[in-house]
Structure 1
Amino acid sequence: MAGRNMLSLPIPSSANLSGPLSIALRQAITSHAGEMHHADAFASDISSLVQLRNAVASMEEHFASLEAAYRYHAQLVFAGTKLSADLPLAFPWAQPFVSTSVWASSSSTSTRPAALAETAAELVSQASNAESFGINFGGMAFVGHTTLEWERANVLFAAAALLSSLAAQEPRNDGNSIKRAVGFFQAASAILSHLVDVVVPGLRLEETSPPHGFTAARLRPLATLTLAQAQECFWQKAVSDGMKPGTVAKLAAAVEDLYSQALTEGKQAEADEGVETFPRTWLNHITVKRHHFAAASQFRKSQDDLASSRYGDEISRLHLAEGHVKSALAAAKKGLPASSEAIQSDLRGLQGVIEGNLKRSKKDNDLIYLEPVTPAGSLTVVQGARMVQAKLPVEVARPIDCLGAGSGSDAPSLGRPLFGALVPYGAHLAISVYEDRKESWWRDAVEAKRQELEAVVRSTMESLDLPHVLNELDSSRAGSNADTVPPSLLSKAHQVQSEGGLPHLEQLRGDVSRMAQLNASILAEARSTLDGEAREDSEVRSQFAGSKHWTRQESSIAGQSYRKRLEELAGTLKMAGESDKVVQSKVDKWLPSWQILEAGEQGIAQSLERLRAEHEEGELIPASSRAPKVTSSSPIVRDLRKTLEATEDALAEFASLSGETRSLVRGDDVREKVMRETARLSSGSNDGGAALDLGPEAFEPLFAAEFKKYRSLEVEVGHIEASLSNLLQQLQAKRATLQEQMDAARPSSDLSSRVSAHLLNLCTAAGKYSEVLANVSEGLNFYNGLSPILRDLADGCLDWARARGIDVETLVARFEGTSLSGSGAAKARGSQASAAPVATPSPRRSTRNKAGATGTPVSGAKKTRSSGRIALEGNGTLDDEEEDELAAVQKELGLGDDTPTSASSSAPPQPPAPQWGAWSGGSIQFGD
């Protein structure tokens, strides 16, 4: 930490990356511009950028290093418009405000002294992995990230630190030196504020350990601190120039305000970050400065009061100044930077002057003026006169303008822009955006719409049963032959057989029934466990109903979560049973038809033969009472076929249009147009080259013009969609008309009508078989998935009930003053308490004991009484309150006697304490 400066550059600030950075830049150029440029064409630019980086990584406290930082920063900003934001390289930088002691245990390398060369070599090795990292070396935290914004942020911070150091080096013994110091401090403050407001919000970095120090909470107090130092320089100039005390007081008040603001922000940073963000000596230093200038402001204002004959105000202000000096000296004793001896010397000198003036002013007022001393709260506040402000250097505010700036430009020249011939990365990104956009358009506006319309047409055809009806009409042209089995129905019968037929369905239904019964039995087991525990709790509760110390939770409250879950699963199981009944009704309805289909062609033919036999036995309706018979040559059938063909043609047309559109989209290459637009935008910029920072949004007008060629295709898609919708409406209307004519021509007693209805029923039954098979499979999967859930619940209920049993045994034994082996309550529970041996868990003390609660028993201890007191032998004791409570319970229940026994008297052994829940006043929960 140099001189009076609060910022200094860490040594080394970063590692030398000559080799890795060159490789990373070549890879970045090849990855996004390899089709147009070869990396060798930019060898000179790569070398220049690497040299600038190395100069910044080893900055010295000299103005030449500041110019190198500005040059490198400008080139980074310009390179960001040409290359991807992420490079295959992690840039390592020291983080001076990250406490390595906090993060040492989790860092990738333990803290150890390291030579500069070893440190740099290790960081270069880490950086070559192209991954973010955090590492500790000799108490310094190094963090690396792969983004250019990270590199830019560190370069700006290094520039701010260098400006602060340059300001601290100024001797300030003349006006020019003070002017330079003020300018340096103002620029440092502006750069730090620029980091907070512009750069840091754009950082999107991975988490590292240690973390990076670029947060607004850490940087904001630094910006205020450097501005306070600039104001201090101005105050110093006013003092040396002999300005009036009132003016100097206002300047000192402004310095105090800025130091107070920096101190507040520094403490807030610690609260926000959760760790000590700055060295404690820094905060002490700022505290000293704050009180120092508060004292100076009041002292100077007291001189102004003396000149204006305000003698009471003068004395009051001198008292205030004296208090501030004492506070400053007290803060100085807590630790200051090594260079603060001059500050303490100034404070002692100021203290002496104030004490002398205070002694003189009191004597004069007591003997001459006799004015009352003004209360401190009634004094006029000294309004600070802030004379400085953060001024961002033009090299940082407009870095691209400074690249290639000529003699006529108001911006300083930072050299020629590197990678000027490289096509901006934004242009390549814009091409990718256009490619994604046109692919998404085809997928959503054309192909997805085609698939949707095909699905609608298929669904409509199936609901109207058009293929089957038309096939039936074709097969009946030669006459009404009841023995003819349509090929479509045979195909459906084969499908039923291939899916396993009735045996497979019955097997699955049997599995569903068994799993349903198993789940019901598991649920009943869980319910029985909870009911048994509730009965036991009720019995014990009634036994001790008269005791006010029995505060154990009722079973209905302690087991509420289990009962709630039990009822939820019972409801689920009930709904599953209702679904099973619906499936059973489907089976009952369609089983005869499935039996026919399972028999195949022979079974279907036999069913048709039975229909013909039944028809011959029935009464025939006179032909004169029937409507004209519908055949495949009827007008309505021909019209229906024509509409169906038009629908198929429309679908084919849509499929063809989708394929043509796909080819058009794949062949749509806007690369050349984007490059021309890039050249036009670059050459047309009038603001120093800032327009070179192109993003995809800059090409939106071009994209809008290119997408016009797809608008006609969207209109054509809309026409086809409307045509298909109209054709489907026609199909529905004509199918209804056909059905009306068929119903009129084929009364129910007619053989053809009965055959058609029978075949239609079998066709429907085939679909119902697949539906029921899917329902049964779904039900089986449901029961299989529910079974482990129910088992977990049953096991949880059993464990909870056992824990409650152990708990009540212990409580009963404590209330009765007997061991578990002799407990009447334990014997009364009979078989339920001894149904399964339970391993008693290790004791855990409740943290929720209340007044009137019994003490927690200690495992392996014996309860004895000596001289009216109760103690625990072995590994614990009871306090007085617990002993009195236990004695009261024993007296209330009539247990024990009043005769004291010796500590060595034998007593029944006590069982280990259970780990379930708390004693009275606690909440007994499973797994506490």
Structure 2
Amino acid sequence: MLNVDPDTKTFIPLRSYLTDPNRAGPGYGLQYSTAPTIQPRGHLNSQDGFDLEVIDSLRREAINVREPHVSGLKKIAAYAAQLVWMGGKFPIDIGADFTWFPALGYNTKRPVSQDNLKFELCNILFNLAALYSQLAVSVNFSSPDGLKSAANYFCLAAGVISHIKDKVVPELRTAPVEDMDIVTLESLQELLLAQGQECFWQKAVMDGYKDSSIAKLAARVSDLYSTAGDWAVQSEAISSEWIHHMAAKHHHFAAAAQYRQACDCLEKRKYGEEVARLRDSMVCVNDALKESRYINKTVLSDLNGLKNKVSEDLKRAEKDNDIIYLNPVPPKSELKTLERAGMVVARVPPDVASPLDHLGDNALFGPPLFAKLVPFAVHLAASIYEERRDRLVSTQLTAPLSALTASVHSTLSALSLPGSLQALEKPLGIPPALLAHAEELRQSDALARLDRSFADTAKLKATDTATFASGREALLAEEAEDAALRARFGTLRWTRPPSREAAPKLHNQIAEIESYLASAAASDDLVRDTYRTLAPLLRILAGPDRALADFVPASRRAAIPPKLEAEASALRTCLNDIARLESRRRRRIEALREAARGDDVHPALLAEAARLERERPDVTIVTAHFEAFFDARLGTRYDSEIAVVAAEAEEQATLLRAVERANADFVRARRGEGGGEREKALQQLEGAWVGYKDVVAKLEMGRTFYNDLSRIVGRFREEAREFGYRRRAEAAELESDLSLPPLSSLTLQNQTQQQQQQQQPSPASHAHSSHSRPQQEEPMPAPVATRNPAPPPQQQQPPLQPGPVAGMWNPEMGIRFGGSPAPATEQKKQAGDWTWLPLREAGEVDGWKMEFELNSPGSGRGNGGITVSCVAGPAAAGGAGGLEGGTGGGPIKHAKCERTNSPNRCSAFLSRGGALCDGPEEGEVKAAEDGEGGGETDRVAEVEDA
């Protein structure tokens, strides 16, 4: 026959367990939220529109699971699996605001909205864990199979919580809501495991296991409840009732473990150790009973039963050991630590750990939705590839080639080429190459084109600067508003993070964009200074031929010596080779840019994405999976071009060395010849032409830079404004909460209304109340899981504040001390108002006394009048003054008042420095028993004095 001990009665379904309440969210349609987001990108077709309806239907079914039934598991898990699949197809900020009400904490009626797929997944999985825990407490605990099922459900619930904590929350990209932060999830996980371990303990007791085995199981239960409580006290969401419940359970099972081990010691004739363990068990039981106010009747009954059992066994054990066995009782420090037998572990359900394995045409959750939709990671990968390709082409191809060309011009200018050669070859008139340059400038209207380019660049710069300034001002204004509110309410009350902590990326962008603008401004000034230096020469070069001929003086020499002519011919050959190299290089740069513009990577990326999905269907595709693809494609297309640049650099170096040797021979052969002024003029015009080409290239680069920057600053401004709007709404909500009247004043006014109603009792109630005793206060029930349907909150009307009631004290009257008389306006009031009387013999006592009288019409103090007294003083005082209890020092914090229709003064207590003085019962003060007439008891009004 099963011996049912008191420590086997802990588990009562829906009472002893703490189940996770469901999170509730409004069931709006995803199709209306996501379609506007993805349709403009060209990703949505007719089939995808149908899939939107399907995912919307799955969401409605998932959030409407309210009852603990196994059919709800599939509904929630199916929607969660599709959300995981959608995470690879859509960006995390899909464009739908998912609204949920917290399940735990003190803000369960305040919705939280986020445009975040992972936030939606967190809430859905939280509900799945809640459903597992509710299934656990709905089984039949009177059978071993029911206990095994309950333990299994608790382990699965803990596994889902573990999955949320380890896999989903780190991917949120935002701070988790308060009831899904790490400490709260850790506490819930340990709590669920504790309850699962408790099921195994209950089954061991039911199956009649040895006491030593049951003690090991109970010790592990105690550890898990202790860990859950330790995490809970760090959480802002777990209520104090739950914390007290966990503490009671921890001490309860510690006592049960020691009791069972004591029974094992008795069986093994270890009588001294039995006494020691029973004493420790009694200590643990008493610690658990300290939480009796907060735990439910079932747990309290179990504790009292266990206490009685332990007390009886302890008396018997001590008596037997003292009289018969005489074994030494070891101290607790010498007792061997109880071994632990852990039977539970957080097990993640397979459909949660690997949800994509359950999606397919013949799979449990059906085919994956949006299967033909290009994954968002592919679009991101295409953007990344294009950025890397353009950067490679610019930094490793076109920029090095342009640098080589600049090196050629610098070398030729240092050698006064080709001006010196042109002055010799054509002593009269303008050289043909210079005439070609002049004609090109005239045909392109070069000077006006440059002026327009400078104006356009300045306009782009001004627009970008204004856009950035607008975003920066919005961000700094929000920071200033937050700082002002923080200074107003204080850092302890204004608990939200500062602006720079809430949006570090945006604040870091300010310095980053400012550095961009400063660098660009320096480059612009350099280009403009270069243009100012070249402008006079360019005007000559672009002007009429007559002005150009006047600028270039003619040479007086008519014949060229044969040796000089030979050296000049050799130099001209080298310069022609350089010119051909430059021409070929310009064509190569244009070809590279054209090839980059025509490099469409999307088909190859789609093929690569399909391969990845086939090879690893359980892995969500992210851009990191395409790194090898990027490297291979860029290497195939551009490695050969990079090698060509290196070869061209070597070729140019060879040609420049040949030019330097030929020019040295030319200079020696030309020594003593005239034509220096003409050579200088031609070289200046040639340098102006080269400088013009450089300015045009840099203006084009500047225009491209500011166009790219416009997208960056535009996005920065929008994000800053959105952040400011969101923070202002959050600040307004927080400010309204902090501006509410103190809860103590509301409580006092409510008690005042109750006191007014009780001041007009019926005659029957007078007779009854004179003999009635305060009833035993009911213990606070232990927290019980409730499933909050949480409908969308309606707009609440502000609560009506009750006004002061005539004849009743209210906080606005204040409390006066000392013997000074009240102001003239307060010394005499109408009947029904308070009259403040001066203190009597206040100097004779170490304390303060207040006395005020309520004058009722037609009644006197000795004939049914109502007198209310509040007295404070040292405990030694008393007697005629009517002083009872109280302490000295410090401002009065609370007041206990009572009323009586006895003519004698009723006594009350005023405590200085904190706690209310205890009355006969919590919240009541007994009427004075001396004097004549029937006494009447009233509820205490707590007064918080500022």
Matched, 1:288 2:300: no
Q: Deviations over 1:855-879 (max 9, x none)?
A: xxxxxxxxxxxxxxxxxxxxxxxxx
Question: 1:649 corresponds to which letter in structure 2?
Answer: R
For 1:377 and 1:343, locate their aligned partners in 2 and report how far apart those are by CA, in whole Å.
29
Q: 2:578 aligns with which of 641, 644, 647?
A: 647
- Letter of the structure 2 residue corresponding to residue 456 of structure 1: S
User: Could you list the per-position Cα deviations for residues 243-300 of structure 1 after superposition, in whole angstroms to 9, with x for gaps in the alignment?
Assistant: 1111100000111111122122223x34xxxxx3321112111111111111111111
Q: How far 1:763 sits from its partner (Å)?
A: 10
**Which residue, 307, 311, 325 being the options, matches 1:351?**
307
Letter in 1 for 2:581: A
Residue identity opposite 2:20 in structure 1: S
- Give the whole-Å Cα distance in 1 for the aligned partners of 2:279 and 2:137: 32
| Aligned counterpart in structure 2 of residue 61 of structure 1, from 64, 67, 75 | 67
**Runs in 1 of length 4+ with deviation above 6 angstroms?**
604-609, 628-632, 756-767
Residue of structure 2 equivalent to 1:26:
35
Structure of greater relative contact order (alpha carbons < 8 Å, 6+ residues apart) = 2
What are the within-5 Å matches in structure 2 for residues 86-105 of structure 1?
Answer: 86-97=93-104, 99-100=106-107
Which residue matches 1:173? Answer: 142
- Give me the whole-angstrom Cα distance separating, in 2, the residues matched to 1:607 and 1:471: 11
In the TM superposition, 1:611-630 aligns within 5 A as none
User: Partner residue of 1:531?
Assistant: none
CA distance 1:351–1:653, shift in 2 (3 Å): same
Deviation at 1:630, TM superposition (A): 7.3
- 1:238 is aligned to 204
Correspondence for 2:655: 727
User: Which residue identity does 1:309 align to in structure 2?
Assistant: R
Alignment of 1:426-825 (within 5 A): 426-474=377-425, 476=427, 634-682=565-613, 684-685=614-615, 689-690=617-618, 693=621, 695=623, 697-698=625-626, 700-701=628-629, 704=632, 707-743=635-671, 745=672, 752=674
Classify 1:262/1:753 alpha carbon distance in 2 versus 1 (closer, same or farther; 3 Å). same
Report the AA paired with residue 240 of structure 1: M
* 1:43/1:756 CA distance change after superposition, 3 Å: closer
Counterpart CA distance in 2 for 1:82 and 1:605 is 71
| 1:691 CA displacement | 5.8
SS at structure 2 position matched to 1:22: helix
Aligned to 2:894: none
Q: Give yes or no for contact 1:3–1:169 (8 Å, CA) kept in 2.
A: no
Q: 1:438 to 1:281 in 2, by over 3 A?
A: same
Q: One-letter code of the match for 2:31?
A: S
In structure 2, the CA distance between the partners of 1:754 and 1:169, relative to structure 1 (3 Å rule), is closer
Task: Please list the CA deviations of residues 546-605 of structure 1 after superposition, one character each: whole Å capped at 9, or x if unmatched.
Answer: xxxxxxxxxxxxxxxxxxxxxxxxxxxxxxxxxxxxxxxxxxxxxxxxxxx9xxx99x99
> 2-side partners of 1:380 and 1:223: how far apart?
29
Distance, in Å, in 2 between the alignment partners of 1:766 and 1:712 is 35
Deviation at 1:99, TM superposition (A): 4.2
Distance in 1, matches of 2:687 and 2:361, equals 85
SS where residue 690 of structure 1 aligns? Answer: coil
Aligned residues: 575
CA distance in 1, matches of 2:675, 2:569: 21
Could you tell me how far apart the structure 1 residues matched to 2:367 and 2:158 are?
28
Distance 2:598 2:681 in 1: 52
Equivalent residue for 1:403?
359
Matched residues in 2 for 1:766 and 1:234: separation? Answer: 92
Task: Report what 2:271 is aligned to.
Answer: 311
Distance in 2 (CA, whole Å) between partners of 1:402 and 1:760 is 80
1:164–1:188 Cα contact (<8 Å) kept: yes
Q: Distance in 2 between matches of 1:282 and 1:59?
A: 25
Say which SS state the counterpart of residue 171 (structure 1) adopts: coil
Could you tell me how far apart the structure 1 residues matched to 2:366 and 2:679 are?
92
Contact 1:29–1:39 (CA under 8 A) maintained in structure 2: no
Identity of aligned residues (%): 30
Find the aligned partners of 2:675 and 2:621 in 1 and give their Cα distance: 79
* Structure 2 unaligned regions, length at least 5: 1-12, 439-446, 448-539, 541-545, 690-946
The aligned amino acid for 1:218 is: T
Q: CA deviation at 1:341?
A: 1.8
**Secondary structure of 1:286 counterpart:** helix
Instruction: Give the Cα separation in 1 of the matches to 2:60 and 2:120.
Output: 12
CA contact (8 A) 2:423 2:675 kept: no
Aligned partner of 2:344 among 388, 391, 410: 388
C-alpha distance in 2 between matches for 1:346 and 1:457: 96
Quote the RMSD (CA, aligned, Å).
4.3
Distance 1:399 1:177 in 2: 28
1:760-816 CA distances to partner (integer Å, 9 max, x unpaired)? 99999999xxxxxxxxxxxxxxxxxxxxxxxxxxxxxxxxxxxxxxxxxxxxxxxxx
Task: Name the aligned partner's letter for residue 91 of structure 1.
Answer: F
Unaligned runs of 5+ in 1: 101-138, 271-275, 407-411, 479-485, 491-497, 499-596, 613-627, 747-751, 768-928
Matches within 5 A, 1:233-382: 233-267=199-233, 269-270=234-235, 276-333=236-293, 335-336=294-295, 340-382=296-338
How far did 1:39 drift?
3.1
Residue of structure 1 in register with 2:751 after alignment: none
Distance in 2 between the 1:202 and 1:167 partners? 29
Aligned residue for 1:88, secondary structure, equals: coil
User: Which residue pairs with 1:525 in the alignment?
Assistant: none
What CA distance in whole angstroms lies between the structure 1 residues aligned with 2:579 and 2:679? 27
Secondary structure of 1:243's aligned partner = coil
Distance 1:186 1:672 in 2: 46
- Counterparts of 1:656 and 1:192, CA distance in 2: 62
C-alpha separation between the residues in 2 aligned to 1:164 and 1:700? 45
| Aligned residue type for 1:261 | T
State the one-letter code of the partner of 1:78.
Answer: W
Q: Secondary structure of the residue that 2:302 maps to in structure 1?
A: helix
State the AA in 1 paired with 2:266: L
Contact 1:251–1:385 (Cα < 8 Å) also in 2:
yes
The verdict on how the C-alpha distance between 1:445 and 1:240 changes in structure 2, with shifts beyond 3 A counting, is same
> What amino acid maps onto 1:403 in structure 2?
L
The residue type equivalent to 1:88 in the other structure is G
CA distance in 1, matches of 2:379, 2:206: 60
